[in-house]
Structure 1
Amino acid sequence: MLKNKQLIRNINMRTQKVFLKFWCFCMLILLLSCKSDGSKKATESDTSTPKAEIETTQKSSSKKIVFFGDSLTAGYGLDDVNDAFPGIIQRKIDSLELDYSIVNSGVSGETTSGGKNRIDWVLNEKPSIFILELGANDGLRGVPLKQSKENLQAIIDAVKKKYPDTKIVLAGMQLPPNMGQTYTTEFKNIFPELAKKNDVQLIPFLLEDVGGVSALNQSDGIHPTKEGHQIMAKNVWDVLEPMLQ
């Protein structure tokens, strides 16, 4: 009786082993079939893709315009940074289907000294056009004008040295009269003097029709509202547009 039970058990084990081998063989055939079919589809897909389309996806999509500035560029106090004037200009560029993309490199509180220290890092963006908007915080803090001017010159020099073909735009700034007549006049003159010396484009006054207008500025009286940025964008666009054609 025991021998019969042992015999039956051995037969069952052999049957299970045979079934297991058969199952593994079937799975192997199935996997090889799927792989072959996948390779075939991939090959068909590759050969059916036009060569021109492949080249297009590999090309850089646009040239870069770098806005290098302070809280005005950064859009301080706005709910959406895209409502700052660089973002407005990007939408204008997109609507005209121009091949440019904006890089907003504005830092709130930035001075010309701070800009000088971070310019090498920002130039990794490889700008086709570089818009320099710094100096206002220097003026409000009473930084010596000679120092501010030297820092701005150093930033311009850094751009020209690394990218001689990059077009540079300098945004002019002015200060409120409470800083003193002599200081405010000399500060205002820094920007046209640097633009002439370096043969770069000048935005005469970035805050034209915005500075000092309470309805277009936030409660601090310094940073423009969303509507104020619309006007600033126009001030920039008047100078920038001819450079994009």
Structure 2
Amino acid sequence: MAASVGALALGISALVVCPAASHAEQAKTSSSASDDLNSVFKTQPCVQAKSLSQLDAPLARVAKRLEAHDPVTIVAVGSSSTGGAGASTPAFSYPSRLERELRQRFPETRVTVINQGINGEDANSMMARMDAVLEPKPDLVIWQLGTNTVLRDGNIPETANVLQAGISRIKKSGADVLLIDPQFAPRVNAKPAVSEMVGLIAYVAKQTHVPLFRRYVAMRHWHEDQAIAFDRFITADGLHMNDWGYSCLARLLAENITATVARSRAVAGVKPFQ
């Protein structure tokens, strides 16, 4: 397992729980959020790389609930970049922005994103609190991991075992799983092992048939292809994202979720959302 992952790698928080709301209230929230996001992106557009046009595995439960206009609960578990370190307010954490983006795209469905990011955690710590992560009975768990293990020169191959066990635990609960790999940031990039971690997460995602949002690739695209300076999306600590970074991450993630849901509906022969 470790050898295969190594070869692949070389080849390449505050808790936010939104209460139930009427469709009218959600529409008003979505409109306000849209204006807010447009303001964030006024000086620097948020553009999606072609390689991130869709996730590479389905989100069957989420697609089914959206089709039925049933409420969708998402739990975002991770470390400080899930919790929102570096954001000006908790409202600019990526889970908060993701909730607004998804409500805008699916106004007939009550979408709730619960932020369970805790500063400094690694995969083992997150696995240890998996019962709490699943306590809200989520339809989707978005699991961001890998950065702290890289920064601490931790055991990267061991992460595969933890990740596989966590994915199995989440699937048994009936929830979909979506993974997010490390961020492309100066302090992370200074660690040569980041390529191994990015490769390992991609390998496990493929082997377990769960979608992966390639945050590392997305952020590298901002910097290398769009020529966006690090200080436009990373804070002065060289690690955490700022308001623009979190908002763009959320927008790209929402676009990927939407495209994946649409693809699932097309495969099932269901009409697209109106």
Q: Which structure 1 residue ranges, 5 or more long, are not aligned?
A: 1-59
CA-CA distance at 1:210 after TM superposition: 5.6
Asked if 2 retains the 8 angstrom alpha-carbon contact of 1:65 and 1:101, the reply is yes
> Residues of 2 paired with 1:70 and 1:210: CA distance?
22
Letter in 2 for 1:170: L
Q: 1:184 to 1:95 in 2, by over 3 A?
A: closer
Q: Quick check: 1:80 aligned with 2:92?
A: no
Matched residues, number: 182
CA-CA distance at 1:244 after TM superposition: 4.9
Q: Quick check: 1:189 aligned with 2:199?
A: yes
Query: Structure 1, residues 3-42: CA drift from partner, whole Å, max 9, x if none?
Result: xxxxxxxxxxxxxxxxxxxxxxxxxxxxxxxxxxxxxxxx
Counterparts of 1:86-125 in structure 2, within 5 Å, are 86-96=95-105, 97=107, 98-125=109-136
> Residues of 2 paired with 1:99 and 1:187: CA distance?
35
Letter in 2 for 1:179: K
Q: Quick check: 1:161 aligned with 2:172?
A: yes
CA-CA distance at 1:103 after TM superposition: 0.9
Letter in 2 for 1:188: V
Q: Quick check: 1:137 aligned with 2:154?
A: no
Aligned counterpart in structure 1 of residue 238 of structure 2, from 208, 221, 224: 221
> Tell me, what secondary structure is at the counterpart of 1:179?
coil
Structure with more helix by fraction:
1
Match of 2:191 in 1: 179
Identity %: 24
Give the TM-score taking structure 1 as reference length.
Answer: 0.68
> Residues of 1 paired with 2:70 and 2:183: CA distance?
37
Asked if 1 retains the 8 angstrom alpha-carbon contact of 2:157 and 2:200, the reply is no
Query: Structure 1, residues 175-204: CA drift from partner, whole Å, max 9, x if none?
Result: 644323xx2322110111111111011112
> Residues of 2 paired with 1:81 and 1:135: CA distance?
22
Q: Quick check: 1:237 aligned with 2:248?
A: no
Give the TM-score taking structure 2 as reference length.
Answer: 0.61
Query: Structure 1, residues 188-231: CA drift from partner, whole Å, max 9, x if none?
Result: 10111111111011112256246771221111010111011122
